[in-house]
Structure 1
Amino acid sequence: MSKDKIHKADKQDLSLVVRAIGTDLEHTQVRMITSANADMLFHYWKVGHFILYLQKKEGWGSKVIDNLSKAIRSQYPDKKGYSTRNLIYMCQFAKAYSMEVLTEMGKVEELLNSPSVDNVLQLTNELNQFTQEPLAQIQATDIQGNIITQQPIAQLGEISEMLSAIYHSNISKIEDIFKQSAIVRTNWASHVILLNSKLPLGERFWYITQAVTNGWSSNVLQMQIETNLFARQITAKKVSNFSVRLPKPQSDLANYLMKDPYIFDMMGQTDKMAERDVERQLVSHITKYLLEMGSGFAFVAQQKHFEVGDSDFYADLILYNIQLHAYVVIELKATPFKPEYMGQFNFYINVVDDALRGEHNNNTIGLLLCNGGDKVVAQYALSGYDQPIGVSDYQLSKAIPENLKSALPTVEEVEEELSKIVDKNI
C-alpha cells in the first residue's frame, strides 16, 4: 500500500475516532444534565417534606417558610432558589408527589407503552383517585424531640433521617423510587407551571409524559395547558373511521394522535382567510405547525402536483408520521364541513396512496380540517369511503410562543423512513 493511501486511511480512522468521541461526549453531557436535574428535584422534594413537617408541628399560621428562606439566604448568600415563593413550590411539590403517588405512577406508566385514548383515560382515572392530603400521612415520629428548637439551617441536615422515619424506609430506597419516576424527566420550571395549573394528578402526569416525549420547553408546556391539549386530544369526541379502516394498533394510535380542534398560530391573520392563505402561513411557520400536529410528524410537500389521466391535481399538504409509518394527507377548508368535501378528499388520498406509499408504509391517512361544522353530519358522511379519514375543526390563534422547542423528527429519521419508498421520483 502506498504512503498516500496509508496516510488517507489514517486520516479516516482519526476522523472516525473523533466523531465517536464527540458522540460519546454529547451523550455523557446529556446524562450529566439529566442526573443533575434529578438530584436537584430530589433535594427540592426533601425540603418540601421538611417544611410540611415543621408546619404540622408549629401550625399552618406559623412563618416557617419565611424564617427558613431568610436563614438559608443569610448563611448561604450564593445559593439561589430558596426564596419564600420557591420554598412554597417545594412544599406543593412534596404534597403533590408523595411516595404513594410516585409508586402508583410507576405502575400505570406502562399503559403509555401502547398509547391510546382508552389507556390514557384509564391512567388518569386511576391517578385522580389519589386525592388525599399528603400532609395527613405524615405521622409523629421519634424525630420530634428538640428539632424545632434548632436553627433551620442545622435542621436541613436531618431531612433524610426524617423522610426515612415518615415512610418507614431507608433513604436510598426512597431516592431510588423518586428518581425512577416520570417527574425527574422534566425541569423545575415545568413543574412550577404544572403546580400552578391546578390540574388533577392524572392530567398533570399525562402532560409530564408528553413534555418528555415531545421535548417541550416550559413555554411550550404552558401553551399546551392553556389551549387545553388534554381535552382536545383525549376527551374530545373525534370524527373518524379509523377503527373500521385501519388495523389495531394503528387505528388506536391514529385516533390518539388526532386532535379536535387543532389550534394553529397565524401571523397577520384575518377573520376570513382563504385555504391557500392558511396553507401559506402554516408552511412558512412549519415548526409551529408540526408542533401542533403532534409527535413524529414531518413535512413532505405543499400543493403536491399529481397528473391523473389528462388532468392535474394538487394535494394541499402532505406529511409523514414516523410512528404510524404512513403518509398523512391534509386538506384545509376555510368554511364549515360539507358532505360534498368527502368525495374529492377521498380521491386525493387514493392518488397519494398509489403514488407515494411503498411496501414498508402503512395505508395513507387523510385528515380534513374545516372551520366548524356539524359532527353528526361529518360522521355520517364518512360511511361508504374506504380510505381512513378523520375530520376535525381548526382554530387560528397567536398562542404559540416564538422561542419554542420540540422533538420533531430529525433529518436522519425522516430520510430513513422515506428511503423505504419504492418510487422516489414521484
Structure 2
Amino acid sequence: MIKKTPAAAGAAPAALPAGYAGIHSGIVELLGAARQAAARSVNALMTASYWEIGRRIVEAEQQGKRRAGYGEQLMERLSTDLTAQFGRGFGVNNLENMRRFFLAYPVSEISQTLSGKLDNELPDEKSQTVSGKLSLTELAQVFTLPWSAYVRLLVVKDNHARRFYEAEALRGGWSVRQLDRQIGSQFYERTALSKDKAAMLVKGAVARPEDAVTPDDAIKDPYVLEFLNLKDEYSESDLEAALIQRLEDFLLELGEGFTFVGRQRRLRIDQTWYRVDLLFYHRKLRCLVIIDLKLGSLTHADVGQMHMYCNYAKEHWAYPDENPPVGLILCADKGHALARYALEGLPTKVMAANYRTVLPDAELLQKELETTRRLLESRVVRQPKKLRQ
C-alpha cells in the first residue's frame, strides 16, 4: 500500500519562494514585450509584401494598358487564384488597397527613405530597382505603422493631410483607433486653421483609454489573422462568450430547423471590420439567420447595423436560390433583456409573417437570455476570488 504524502492528501501547498512576485511580473513583462515585437514584425512584413504585390499589379496593368478591361480581369483572376491557394485576405477590394498603397508610396519615395536608414547604400540612380535589390525584411524597415493604419490612411485623398496623419501617428505612437478618430474629426484641417498649432498637436497626441492596444489586440488584428490564414473566432469578454455558447446550444435544442454555420463571423464593409456573434441556417425558411448579442441597451444604431449585416449576407453569404437573411438582435442589458427580429427588409409582408410563425418566439428568447445571464453572474459571484483572478 502506497502511503499518501501530505500534498497528495490535500494539504495546503508549499509557501511561494521569496521574490516570487518579482519573478512573475518580470516574466509577464517579457512575454508582453515579445508578443508586441512579434505583432510588429508580422505587420511590417505583411505591409512590405502588400506593397510589393501592389507594385507587380501596377506594372502588369501598365504592360496591358492597351487592352480594355485588362486591369479588372487581372484583379479578379488574382483574387480567385490567391484565395484558393492562401485563403482569406485576397479579395478584389484588398488587392485594390495594395495597388493604391504602392501608388501612394512610389519606388522613388521608398528608395529615399531606405537610403537614410541604410547609410546611403542605395544611390539615386538605382532607385527604380529598389524592390528587386532588397529583401522583404529590408523593405519592411520603411513601413513602421500596421497595415490597418495604412488602409485607413489611403482613405485620405489629400496627400498633405495623409502625410500629416502618418507623421503624427508615428510621432505620437497612435493606435489605429486613435488614427481613425483623428481623421474622422478632421484633425488636420482643425490644426491648419488653429492659431496655436503647437497646442493642437499636443492635445491631439493625448490617447483615450479605449485607444489602448494590448498584445492580444495586435495579434488578433483581422488583417494579421488573414495574412497568417488563422481563424479569427474570439469573443470580447468571458460573459459574452458564455452567453453565446448557451444561446447556441439553446437554439439548436429547439429542434425548429436551425443548422449551425459559425461563430464570430467577420465581415468587412469598405475599410471597417464588423463581426456577427452567431450565424445559423434555417432549413424550413431556407435562409441564413444572423444573431448579434449586445451587452447594453438596444439603440437605433444596432437596428441599422443589423439591416446592414442582412444586406451584406444576402449579397456575399447567401446562395442565389435562398430566401433573404433574417437578423435577430439579443440585448442582455443587466436587469433587462430584449429580443428583436429584423424583418423589415423582407420582400413581402407575407414572408415576414411566415418568418414570425416559424422562428422562435421573442418572449421565449428573452426569458432564456435573462435566465442564462442570472445563472452566469451567480456563478461568477460564488467563485472564490483566487479562481476568478
TM-score, length of structure 2 as denominator length: 0.41
Bigger relative contact order (CA 8 A; separation at least 6): 1
TM-score, length of structure 1 as denominator length: 0.38
